[in-house]
Structure 1
Amino acid sequence: MDETALALVTAAITSLITGATGEAGKGAWTSLVAMVKKTFGKKGEQEPPLELVEAVKVEDRDVIELSEILVERAGQDAEFASELSAWLKDVKVLAKSDGPTNVVAGNARITGPLIQGRDFSGPISFGAPPPGAS
C-alpha cells in the first residue's frame, strides 16, 4: 500500500471530520460519500465501506481503516484512483484556506515531543536550556 497516499487520504478525511475545512467541507464530505457509494455500492460489492464512512463521520473513528480501504481500492481501480485524486486536490484547497491539517498516522512512532502547526518563528526548545545559555 502506498504510504504517501494513505497519509494524504487520512489527512483529508481528518480535516473534514474535525471541521478544519469549514462549511465548504460539508460539500467535500458529500462528494466522498457519493464516490464511495458509486464505487462500493455496485452489485456484488460489499457494503462495509459505506457503513464505515458513516461511522467515521458520526463517531470520529476508524479514519485509518477507511483510508486504507480507499487507497487499496485506488490501487486496483484506475477510475476510482482518478476520482480519489481529484477529490484530494479539492480537499487540499479547502484545508489550505482554513489553516494547517497535521496528522500523525500509519505506523508512526513518536518517542519525544511533537509540534504540529504552521508559520513558526523563533526558537523552539524542550526541557532545560543548554549549559551556558542565558
Structure 2
Amino acid sequence: MDPSVIPTLAAVISAIIGGAAGEAGKNAWTSLTALVRGRFGADAAVTSAIERAGTRPPEETAEIIAGHAATDPAFEESLGRWTAETVRLIQSKHDVSNTIGGDARITGPVVQAGDVFGSINLGKP
C-alpha cells in the first residue's frame, strides 16, 4: 500500500473518533469496521485494532490496517476508496472560519486551516 495513505487514514480515523464528522462520521466508522471485519474477521490483530481504535493512537490503527491491506490488493483498493470518500465527506461537513481582528500583531509563521490530511512543515528540515 502506498505509504502516503497511512497519514491520511490516520487523520480520518482521528476525525471520526474525535466526533469531527458527526453522524456522517459514525456511518463512515460503521462502514470501515464492516469492511475490515468482512475481510479480516478471523485475524485478531486487525479486528482488535478496530475494536481498540479509541484507546490507541490513530496512526497505530492505520498502520495495522494498511499493513494488512498491502497483502490483499482487493482490500487495498476498497480501503483506498473508503479513505478517499470519507475525506470528501468530512471536508464537506466541516466548516472552518478563522478570524484575526482587533489589534492583533503577528510576528511569526501562521497556518490557518481546517482539517489537514497529511503533514504541515514550517522551516527547514
Aligned to 2:61: 66
- Unaligned 5+ segments in structure 2 are 97-108, 115-125
Displacement of 1:117 after TM fit? 2.3
| Contact preservation (8 Å) 1:10, 1:63 | yes
99 and 49 in structure 1: CA distance in 2 versus 1, 3 angstrom threshold = farther
Report how many residues are paired: 102
* Identity of matched residues, %: 35
Aligned structure 1 segments of 4 or more residues deviating by more than 4 angstroms: 113-116
TM-score normalised to structure 2 length = 0.70
Q: Distance in 2 between matches of 1:14 and 1:30?
A: 14
Q: Quick check: which has more Rg, 1 or 2? A: 1
Aligned to 1:35: 35
Q: Distance in 1 between matches of 2:33 and 2:45?
A: 13
Q: Distance in 2 between matches of 1:81 and 1:40?
A: 12
Aligned to 1:80: 75
Q: Secondary structure at the match of 2:60?
A: helix
CA root-mean-square deviation: 2.3
Q: Distance in 2 between matches of 1:66 and 1:116?
A: 27
Aligned to 1:129: none
Aligned to 1:49: 46
74 and 115 in structure 1: CA distance in 2 versus 1, 3 angstrom threshold = same
| Contact preservation (8 Å) 1:21, 1:91 | no
TM-score normalised to structure 1 length = 0.65
- Unaligned 5+ segments in structure 1 are 101-112, 119-134
| Contact preservation (8 Å) 2:21, 2:90 | yes
